[in-house]
Structure 1
Amino acid sequence: MPSFQPIEAPKCPRCGKSVYAAEERLAGGYVFHKNCFKCGMCNKSLDSTNCTEHERELYCKTCHGRKFGPKGYGFGTGAGTLSMDNGSQFLRENGDVPSVRNGARLEPRAIARAPEGEGCPRCGGYVYAAEQMLARGRSWHKECFKCGTCKKGLDSILCCEAPDKNIYCKGCYAKKFGPKGYGYGQGGGALQSDCYAHDDGAPQIRAAIDVDKIQARPGEGCPRCGGVVYAAEQKLSKGREWHKKCFNCKDCHKTLDSINASDGPDRDVYCRTCYGKKWGPHGYGFACGSGFLQTDGLTEDQISANRPFYNPDTTSIKARDGEGCPRCGGAVFAAEQQLSKGKVWHKKCYNCADCHRPLDSVLACDGPDGDIHCRACYGKLFGPKGFGYGHAPTLVSTSGESTIQFPDGRPLAGPKTSGGCPRCGFAVFAAEQMISKTRIWHKRCFYCSDCRKSLDSTNLNDGPDGDIYCRACYGRNFGPKGVGYGLGAGALTTF
């Protein structure tokens, strides 16, 4: 009768005892007990989301970074901090964290060697389908799929394939093969220039690329160096091909791309700042922010020489009577016309008649004198005078009484009818009528009989004499008299 041989259960790397299916936890290709699935340094309970296996020992992500992660400026908890914590507070008296617990010793697993170039790139053994990880087109063991420097466990997201045919985590890859210098640390503003602790410390010598070694035919090469530009390194700007190395600002040598490159009139390329200094407008409001004076880079003579001022003579081409610009009388063409009250003006002439401030369709005010004014000058010349009609409650009487004759606005001719306007007697049409107590008035005639204040339906008062008044004049003429009936309570009105 054949003897029964039970299947040997896998051993836990932490305690060395058998692990059965009901209590197993998987990490790094090894099977652990549920109670042994803890961090080897801080003894924190772990799960599949925060465990990191390193040489058959489990760590939480924080302790793994302390013990095996990169050190130096920028590798602390946040960018800009210096972390030199190596987890020494968790070490035992002998200075190490043993990977063997409870006296159990781990036996190394025997791996069958594969033919040259076919097995795992790290250990050279056969890789079976159940444990393979793919990188660079080759299969790796799951336990060998670690960073080549800090031994951190990797996956398809964290893995970086390096030029030396090895795999690294993102941090170690950046330190070993990434750019060096100011601004290339883990956080902006950090200086990254440390040599790798696991290397020999010798600086990497990078050969300078001589792009002008192969000269192109005249007018066909890179505009900066004159060398031939191949497709793998070309940058396009204004129909010309540049080397990637030469595609930088002519003044400050800042590296450019298709977004921040500006083509200058001298057929060279500039960054936006240098282009603005050299070719942009100068003067108040054209600096980095509004309210600054930008005169950097050019003298006044250079500015005048580069952009000479041209004052067009708008009176050189005269227009027919009543058709030209009201200010200068010259012909107005479509490219320069400005419209105001049915008249066409030159853009140069379209300014205030008094202060000569340039105007537009929002600021322009058509005066009764047939000219245009800004709002302030219009108010001084044609606006109401007296206390409270200035920009603040002040008394405005700039030059005494105005000498300008205002048009009356009443019809000067036409038939007078019995049903016409009570003030002028002429006929009232529907487009201009104002109604008061069953009587129809012209819009221009609809004002107070005493103070001539314009009225509307909200401040209209019909007097017993058949005329219309504002509230103040109506109270003065027809309201009660005596103490308390003035403009304010307690005032005596007897006029």
Structure 2
Amino acid sequence: MPFKPVEHPKCPKCGKSVYAAEERVAGGLKWHKTCFKCGLCNKALDSTNCAEHERELYCKVCHGRKFGPKGYGFGGGAGCLSMDQGEHLQAKNEGEFSRGSNAILEPRAIAKAPEGEGCPRCGGYVYAAEQMLARGRQWHRECFKCANCAKRLDSVNCCEGPDKDIYCKVCYGKRFGPKGYGYGQGGGALQSDCYANGDAAPRTTVIDTAIIKAPPGKGCPRCGGVVFAAEQVLAKGREWHRKCYKCRDCTKTLDSIIACDGPDRDVYCKTCYGKKWGPHGYGFACGSGFLQTDGLTEEEISASRPYYNPDTTSIKAPAGQGCPRCGGMVFAAEQQLAKGTMWHKKCFNCAECHRPLDSMLACDGPDKEIHCRACYGKLFGPKGFGFGHKPTLVSTNGDHAPSYIDAKPQVGQKRNDGHGCSRCGYPVYAAEQMISKNRVWHKRCFSCGECNRSLDSTNLNDGPDGDIYCRGCYNRNFGPKGVGFGMGAGTLTMA
């Protein structure tokens, strides 16, 4: 009997056999994993977003485009009209089958409503899902736009005109709004739509306010003309024309905030007032530390310019009350205190090296002078080994220190009772005592008996001869010998 292979289901997309390792199931059919994608947008699918229609797979979005309901409320959101069938996603390659919908969209027929009850623009019935309200009347959503520019309207920018139609705010203003200067796109613009027939716009003339003279002392202080109520500005009980109320020097327009009345009965801005009538000198300009010189001559500037006199002895103080260094008067702005005496800041330095001092460095000497710490120690501090620039021996009489100092103590008599230092035999006091296996040593004698290396509790080794050694010398003298007992494993030492 001939061999007959097992029948495998065929993929509806490519027509080839589908094996268990690569199958995907949808709509009772089995598909290859690579064929399991949307037939319109080629998006990879899974069990959550797959929709099958006549042996073809679609994602839910494309399935709704091709086979879902159309019209108002079935688009991107409620109230939107969707007529998308996915034509822009279909393949354009030659020979590729196009899966476009064969459904024919018939033109929408609008039922006419009785007179005065339907949409004011088209006259058809308006249903609740598509109605827009304006002044108690119902409009279709697509009819609810400006009658002039066809702009889409809403409840914010809709204006109902006197002709019972609706307009946007711009078109309403152009068509039915006021005309003339100040009623255009901005206050001060001329609305000229009403002059489109060739009529010239009215011209405004600027009248000189000084033409109509007022009695002396009663008119505008600047031009002397009569001030009427529509143009008056009040300042310190006087009436000014609005156009005359500006700074005398820079002609800047003024208001009640920046206006300053000068002593010449004129008005100035704050800057010009300060330059002309304000204080002059250092600290009275744009900021503290600047010199304000507007309106001053060079001689006046030089006379008022501050200067610094470095001579502290120019003003002598009574005996015992001035600076101890120079004897001059010490004022509060320059005083420094030291042990109840007041010094000039310039004089408050070391008498020996002239280093500037402060409260941390100053030392009062017995000579009634002040010194830095180093000079005070040299002049008045203790002398001898350890008192100076340590560990230097300081001597002021010219003697020199010995070139060699014996490291072993030579003080007192040696002890023969076994209680002295194990190295030198001299007495050991508590301040210099080092202990090893019930024996005491001087601190400077506590070193290796062979290499004289200083020892401590971490590298101390007591030898059988009663002396102490470092680890290296101990192993060399008393440690085991032979292979493996040298500088490293495997080394032979016979030292």
TM-score when normalising by structure 2: 0.35
TM-score when normalising by structure 1: 0.35
Bigger Cα Rg: 2
User: Which structure has the higher relative contact order (CA within 8 Å, separation 6+)?
Assistant: 1
